[in-house]
Amino acid sequence: AETRVQQAEADAEQARTAMRAAHADRQTAEQERDAALHAQREALGAQHAAEEHRDRIHAEARAHAERLGVQIGNLTTRLNDEQLLTTRQAEQLSRLAADLSRAETLADERAETLAERDRQLHQANADVRRLTDTLEQTTAHLATTRRQLQQAETATEQARAETRAARDTLAEARRRFEEERDRLRTQHDQARLDQATAETRLEMTERELQTLRRQLAAAQTATGLIVPPLTDVEGQPGVRLPGGTIEAVTLQDGVVLLHHADNAIPLGDASQSPAHARALSAALQAVASPPPA
């Protein structure tokens, strides 16, 4: 009988050891889940910053669209930067999706480990009950040992309850991971749609620029004007008109200036002679036209 009692105590100690191992595994799974959630929040913060940066670029692009003639080159550069930013964002989303997939795999492995622990605890509980039935046939001096075995059974039930709670917690964490993964996929699809929209706007802008250039060429053909090339006039791009009242024409801060006798006169305040009207018109077209692509 004493040998059976010692065996029962050993089995109870194994059950308690298995319970402590299951508790340690649950704590490890919770720590790994918290680390995955922290990485997810950092990725979301980076994504929000990228979206705000992209929105600012869109606002600037719309504001500068009205000055298409002189700023088409800057607009094209901004759109290219936005495409590069969208590509980087898509790469970040892909990396985050891979991290989430790895976290799901790890959670599944932890769940399988906890299930195996639960089976072990169930088997240990069955062994304790079988030993209890045997000990009921012994004499009264074994009552103390019987009470210890009953305490071991209570601890085993508590361990099973904690295991079930850990399994429920892992199931809830997996559900949240899946919801977050679906939301990130939706944001990724929206980013791709925004990129396609930006490319379409760029194509429309290029077509409008070509139309403006054709209209300028038609106007030059209809008026018979030959647009002279731009040269440096007092540090500003312009056109010199030798031999006339107006010596040169420049564009500074959006204002057309007529240079006469070392004075720069705004266009609205100047009076031109008829003999220089055609040359002055051609010079104005030269400084006001957008640069060729």
Kindly report the backbone phi and psi dihedral angles of residue 262, in degrees, each rounded to the nearest multiple of 5, phi listed first: 60, 20
Q: Average pLDDT across each block of 10 residues of the chain; the chain has 293 residues. List them in order.
A: 72 75 74 74 76 74 60 69 79 78 79 80 76 65 69 80 82 83 85 88 80 67 67 77 73 71 64 47 60 51
Residue 160 is assigned to a structural domain of this protein: yes
What pLDDT shows up at residue 65?
A: 54
Look at residues 171, 187, 221 and tell me which one is the last residue of a structural domain: 221
Residue 262 is assigned to a structural domain of this protein: yes
28-56 pLDDT tens trace? 777 777 777 777 778 777 778 777 877 77
What pLDDT shows up at residue 70?
A: 59
Among candidate residues 28, 18, 291, 2, the one with its CA nearest the CA of residue 158: 18
What pLDDT shows up at residue 227?
A: 66
CB 1 within 8 A of CB 140: no
What pLDDT shows up at residue 178?
A: 85
| 59 & 177 share domain | yes
Residue 34 is assigned to a structural domain of this protein: yes
What pLDDT shows up at residue 208?
A: 74
| 21 & 59 share domain | yes
Q: Buried b vs exposed e over 117-131: b needs ≥16 C-beta within 10 Å?
A: bbebbeebbebbeeb
Task: Tell me the residue ranges of DSSP E strands in 134-269.
Answer: 231-233, 236-240, 248-252, 255-260, 263-266
| 48 & 123 share domain | yes
Look at residues 196, 221, 246 and tell me which one is the last residue of a structural domain: 221
User: What is the count of structural domains for the chain?
Assistant: 2
| 145 & 248 share domain | no
| 187 & 236 share domain | no
Residue 108 is assigned to a structural domain of this protein: yes
Bridge pairing between strands 231-233 and 248-252: unpaired
| 76 & 173 share domain | yes
List the domain range (segments joined by +) for residue 190. 2-221
| 212 & 254 share domain | no
Among candidate residues 116, 104, 124, the one with its CA nearest the CA of residue 163: 116
| 59 & 183 share domain | yes
| 259 & 184 share domain | no
What pLDDT shows up at residue 27?
A: 79
Residue 267 is assigned to a structural domain of this protein: yes
What pLDDT shows up at residue 275?
A: 38
Look at residues 190, 221, 252 and tell me which one is the last residue of a structural domain: 221
Residue 293 is assigned to a structural domain of this protein: no
229-268 pLDDT tens trace? 777 877 777 777 776 667 777 777 666 777 777 777 776 5
